[in-house]
Amino acid sequence: MLIATPKTYPGRAKSESLRIDQQDIVETRLWLEEHDWLYGLLRSENNVSPTFRFPDLIGACVSLVFEHHDAPARIFQFLGTELVLRSPQTPRRRESMWRPQYELLLALQRSPANRHPNPKFQLDQLTTACVALCRTADGSVAAVLRQARCNMAERSHRGQDAPPG
């Protein structure tokens, strides 16, 4: 079972650490195929000014999928028809996402669609599904980068700057 943990930043003043913790990013994993696609997007010549990193790219994919009214159905359709056919030992890469997108996936993970008698899917599978759905969408590279910009602007409006590197 994968547990999501917020990242903390040692050596910061307590008030600054609290501010960072409130906006935090959450650790997740991505299946290798989707990670490789996002890595290509990370290194893409289109990913400039600013250059978005994995938390932004993953968050953008999750946001794009959840823009659709039938997001849970799309995600569980992918999980039940495609991801379930992959080897359960498929390698995964550890990455991070922003908390607002994690909260969307957490609600989905706790939903009746992920309870008995249905199979139980974990956070890494839900995250992977969102990236996979963006990967197969037409024009997804531009859409992911555009959504990363929108998510960043929304965080800025809420007074949440990016955590220090």
Distances (CA, A) of 159 to 28, 44, 70, 99, 104: 24, 29, 30, 14, 20
The pLDDT of residue 4 is 55
113 or 18, which is more confident? 113
pLDDT at residue 158 greater than cutoff 80: no
pLDDT at residue number 23? 57
Residue 145 has pLDDT above 90, yes or no: yes
Place of tokens 């917020």: 6
Averaged pLDDT for residues 29-58 = 95
pLDDT of 13 higher than 70: no
For 21-33, how does the pLDDT look when each residue is reduced to its tens digit (9 = 90+)? 545 899 999 999 9
